[in-house]
Amino acid sequence: ETKHGGSKNGKKEGLSGSSFFTWFMVIALLGVWTSVAVVWFELVDYEEVLAKAKDFRYNLSEVLQGKLGIYDADGDGDFDVEDAKVLLGKYKYIKEAIKESLKKLREKQESKKEENEEEKKKTRKGRDATDRKDKKAVDMNKLKKDSDKAQRDRGKEKGLDKSVKSKETAKKSTSEKDGTVKAGKDKETKKIVKNQSKEDKKEKKCLKERSVPAQPESEETVQPAEKPYVESAKKKKKPKLLNKFDKTIKAELDAAEKLRKKGKVEEALRAFEALVNQYPQSPRARYGKAQSEDDLAEKMRSNEMLQQAINTYDEVVSLPNVPSDLIKLSLKRKADRQQFLGRMRGSLVTLQKLVQLFPSETSFKNDLGVGYLLIGDNSNAKKVYEEVLSLAPNDGFAKVHYGFILKAENKIAESIPYLQEGLESGDPGTDDGRFYFHLGDALQRMGDKEAYKWYELGYQRGHFASVWQRSLYNVKGLKAQPWWTARETGYTELVKSLEKNWKLIRDEGLAVMDKKRSLFLPEDENLREKGDWSQFTLWQQGRKNENACKSVPKTCALLERFPEATGCRRGQIKYSIMHPGTHVWPHTGPTNCRLRMHLGLVIPKEGCRIRCAQENRDWEEGKVLIFDDSFEHEVWQDAESYRLIFIVDVWHPELTAQQRRTLPAI
């Protein structure tokens, strides 16, 4: 330890003299041996190193001279002490000469700059002249186009352009055709439409979709329609929902509403209930409570909670100092929720109250008309839409519904312009497959080939599966073809049983026909152009008609073994008799969820045929025809005697057991 600089007690000390000398000698010897190795083994080329050093010195001198050469004041070609003296003002006469040369150099540069500017100005003048010529030519073309457009517009105003086919043109109003409605009413109508709130439009759409028997849930994707006609580009005014008092508690109301919009329904309901308890005269707090109950009812799927929301919407209207926009929203939502629960008459009362409070609002009258249609009161619905059209002749929603009512009254020709102009309007609630369906059907019955253009448009907008398959109550993805074979359906046992027992089925049917009792009832769907067509139904919507089956017991017993037929809640099982001279209009069934079997019982030799899509077929006694009646089909009976067939509807074979149990009946 002592030798290496330590001590016995462990404390370190500095290096001793002997150890320092030892390290010095080691380093010295290393240096010597390194030098000997470099020289001996020629690790470094000394001559090359010296040459490079010399070159570097010369190059550096040249570089410095080149950089400093601009300061050569005495003209000897380099920069030295004499040059420095000149630059420092020791030799004034040389300094002045340098100044003079620099001045001339600056003047020369400025002169060149001015010349460049002159050239640029000339170039710009030439371009400006060319641009003016081009602009003049463009302006002349624009004036010409504007003039042509103005002439076209004047032509339209004078009634020169009578085409209603173009989606881009605005539809003509009834006043333009009849000349009975003044322009002032049109302005009033536009004002009313413009003042509708966005919330009103949402609620209105919800009600309008139930304007005729509501469509069941469909797995099809329906594309939104393009709107060819725009009433106004102005933004709709935001509804005013706060009275003077509610403005003082706006922060508390906003906090509760924020919870509701975030989907925290239970918290929002508690917050609004607290506000209602604290401020019982606050309409906005009570409306928020109703909305929260409405949301919670949907979340819980609770009709009881929904009824509570309906009651709260009613309470809002009964409070003092309720803003008119809040009354509208509360009553509209109340009516919609009543319809959802199937309380159509209660909804009708609510809509009547809304119309009484706001008689100038045509949208509320439109909703009232829908309310009448939902309870089957077409007569009062018709009166409502006539009133709307007298106030607002361009109202597309009123037009399509009025046209629908006229067609239901079999006023086919009269219904067409209302349906067509209503669809062309593009107004909310008009882009509905049922209106395309009925317009096309009306045109077909008038022999107008334009029908298929409307069917095509309905298909393009997602309302129909194809131009030929136009059913409205559909399940997406099912195999679609007009004609089927027994093997394709998978119901071969049913087909074999029907064909094997066709005489038994025929005889029981003939026996019923011979009786004086009127068991065969005339077709009541307005599908006949002419003739006599009657039916005797055994099963309807999956329910057995016990009394009917007592008349044909063997036939009913035979069918009991086939649940695909007797359990088909979207079809029927029935006898069908058609007498000579009968023609059934082209039509489609309501759904793609069934296939239809026709068993021939009594078939004349000639004159009877059926068309499905683009293929005609004939019946044969004892044979089954199978087709998909969601495709357009048509029947002719031009024989000399009656035709009797037995109709059996079956579930589409691709429907699952779950779908067969849960699909609503038709």
Residue written as tokens 């609510």?
350
Q: How far apart are CA 338 and CA 71, in angstroms?
A: 101
Comma-separated ranges of CATH 1.25.40 domains in the chain: 394-464
Q: Residue type at 364?
A: F
pLDDT digits (tens, 9 = 90+) for 131-152: 544 444 444 444 344 444 444 4
| Helix or strand run (H / E) with residue 484 | strand 483-484
Helix (H) or strand (E) holding 67: helix 46-68
Q: Give the model's pLDDT for residue 189.
A: 34
Residue-level pLDDT at 4: 41
* CA distances (Å), origin 618, targets 196, 481, 599: 56, 18, 11
Q: What is the b/e burial string over 463-483, where b = at least 16 CB atoms within 10 angstroms of the residue's CB?
A: bbbebbbbbbbbbeebebebe
What pLDDT shows up at residue 28?
80
Residues 425-460: tens digit of each pLDDT:
999 999 999 999 999 999 999 999 999 999 999 999
Task: Evaluate if residue 40 carries a pLDDT over 90.
Answer: no
Q: What is the pLDDT of residue 210?
A: 35
| Of 582, 624, 618, residue with least CA distance to 599 | 624
> CA gyration radius for the chain?
47
| Structural element, H or E, at residue 359 | none
Instruction: Name the band, by pLDDT with cuts 50, 70 and 90, for residue 167.
Output: very low
Residue 91 has pLDDT above 60, yes or no: no
Instruction: Report pLDDT for 208.
Output: 37
Model confidence at 658, pLDDT cuts 50, 70, 90, reads very high
Say if residues 292 and 275 touch (Cβ distance below 8 Å): no
pLDDT per residue as tens digits for the range 566-606: 999 999 999 999 999 999 999 999 999 999 999 999 999 99
Overall average pLDDT of the 615-634 stretch:
98
pLDDT of residue 532: 95
The CA distances from residue 221 to 208, 281, 435, 470, 630, in Å, are 19, 45, 18, 15, 18
The boundaries of every CATH 2.60.120.330 domain in the chain are 492-662
Average pLDDT over residues 304-323: 97
Read off the pLDDT of each residue in 176-183 and give the average, rounded to a whole number: 34
Convert the pLDDT of each residue in 476-520 to its tens digit. 999 999 999 999 999 999 999 999 999 999 999 999 987 666 789
544 has which bridge partners? 539
Which pLDDT belongs to residue 235? Answer: 56
Q: What is the mean pLDDT of the chain?
A: 79
Q: For 187-200, what is each residue's pLDDT tens digit?
A: 333 333 333 334 34
Whether the CB-CB separation of 588 and 470 falls below 8 Å is answered with: yes
If pLDDT is split at 50, 70 and 90, which confidence band does 103 have? low
pLDDT band, very low/low/confident/very high, at 306 (cuts 50, 70, 90)? very high
Distance CA 177, CA 198 (A): 32
How many whole angstroms from its chain centre is CA 612? Answer: 33
Q: How high is the pLDDT of residue 365?
A: 97
For the segment 63-79, the average pLDDT, to the nearest whole number, is 48
Percentage of residues in the chain with pLDDT exceeding 90? 62
Which CA distances in Å does 49 have to 23, 45, 61, 244, 564? 32, 6, 19, 98, 106
Is the domain defined by 394-464 classed in CATH 1.10.10? Answer: no
Reference 495, options 642, 609, 600, 569; nearest CA is 600
Task: Give yes or no for a contact between 199 and 330, defined as CB atoms under 8 angstroms apart.
Answer: no
Per-residue pLDDT tens for 231-254? 333 456 789 999 999 999 999 999
Q: Which CATH class is domain 492-662?
A: mainly beta
CB contact set of 457 (below 8 Å; sequence gap of 6+)? 436
Q: How confident is the model at residue 666 (pLDDT cuts 50, 70, 90)?
A: very high
Token representation of residue 493: 């046992």
The two tokens of residue 133 are 């010529």
